[in-house]
Structures are given as C-alpha cells and as structure tokens.
Amino acid sequence: MLTYIALFRGINVGGNNSLPMKELVAVLEDIGARKVRTYIQSGNAVFRSAETGSQLAGQLTAEIKKRRGFEPFVLILDLEALDRAMAGNPFPEAEADPSSLHLGFLAYPTTHPDLAKLNSLKKESERFYLSEAVFYLHAPEGVGRSRLAAGIEKLLGVPMTDRNWRTVCRIRELADE
C-alpha cells in the first residue's frame, strides 16, 4: 500500500458543497483506503491504498456525487510528489511566513501558460514560479487581494488546487504519523 494525499477544491466553502470530514473518511474507507487522516474542513486527506491515484480520484468523485449530489475536483498525489513539490520551493525564505507562500498543485502539466499576462497581474511584492506540477506563489500582502492569485488557473489553462505552506507542512506531518 502507498501513502496518498487527496486535495479537494471547493468543498465546505461559503456553505456550498458540504462534505463533513467524518463523511469524507467514511467515503475513503468504503473505497478501500486505510489509515485515513484529514486536516481542516477544506478537504485534505492522507491515507494508504493499494489503488492507483487515477483510480482513486474517479472513485472518490463518483462516490461523493452519489452521496452528496456534487462532483468535487480532487487531486490525488503520492507522497513522492508532495515531497518533490516541497523540495522544489523556489522561495525558501518565504517559509518563515507560511500563509504568504502558496503551492498550486496542477492537475497536469500546462502546455500554453500565459506567462506575460501572469507577470502583468502581479504586484511588485509578489513572486511566482511555474514548475511542471506546481505553481509557486509568494504573496506577502495576501492572496485575497492578489489579482495574480485570482487569475492563475485561467491563465495556466489547467485545473489546480492551492494550499499555503502551513497546510502543506501539516499534510506532510500527517503522512509521517
């Protein structure tokens, strides 16, 4: 069995797409996951499974649609992918303020990102770096006021889900427990 991380986008936000973590644990266990642990209500789960990541994503989405009536975007990472994303952080000095450093995990590599437009949206204080699997954003003034943060997914042309450095570190800790 391998250790996996499930990152959900858009659940339990603003009263929409409600999925209590207790129910998420039950869904994961029903599809064969073991040692399931969750972190915060926005949809982060660490678990072990013999299935492949692509099989798990489809099974999770289908089971949640059946139980709750909506199909969440879920990205499944193996532990190696999370470790690569963390090791690849191009802004290590930003780790001191973990809420300012964000990792946007891409569903697949982007082929035609609009880097010129991304650059035109960023504030002077913001920095970003695009790897094959992750969009790194350092936004010291916060992502809530960032025009760049608001436009990333559209300009990359790839579905993604974003986590701040604090959350990424906590997910990694859960994987070690």
The segment with the largest mean pLDDT, out of 5-14, 62-71, 129-138, is 129-138
Same domain, 15 and 77: yes
Same domain, 74 and 20: yes
Same domain, 73 and 136: no
SS (H, E, C) the chain: CEEEEEEEECCCECCECCCCHHHHHHHHHHCCCEEEEECCCCCEEEEEECCCHHHHHHHHHHHHHHHHCCCCEEEEEEHHHHHHHHHCCCCHHHHHCCCCEEEEEECCCCCCCCHHHHHHHCCCCCEEEECCCEEEEECCCCCCCCHHHHHHHHHHCCCEEEEEHHHHHHHHHHHHC
> Total structural domains in the chain?
2
pTM of the complete model: 0.93
Q: Which domain holds residue 65?
A: 2-81
pLDDT tens digits along 13-30: 666 777 888 999 999 999
Average pLDDT value for residue range 123-145: 95
Same domain, 111 and 71: no
Q: Is residue 100 part of a domain?
A: yes
Same domain, 45 and 22: yes
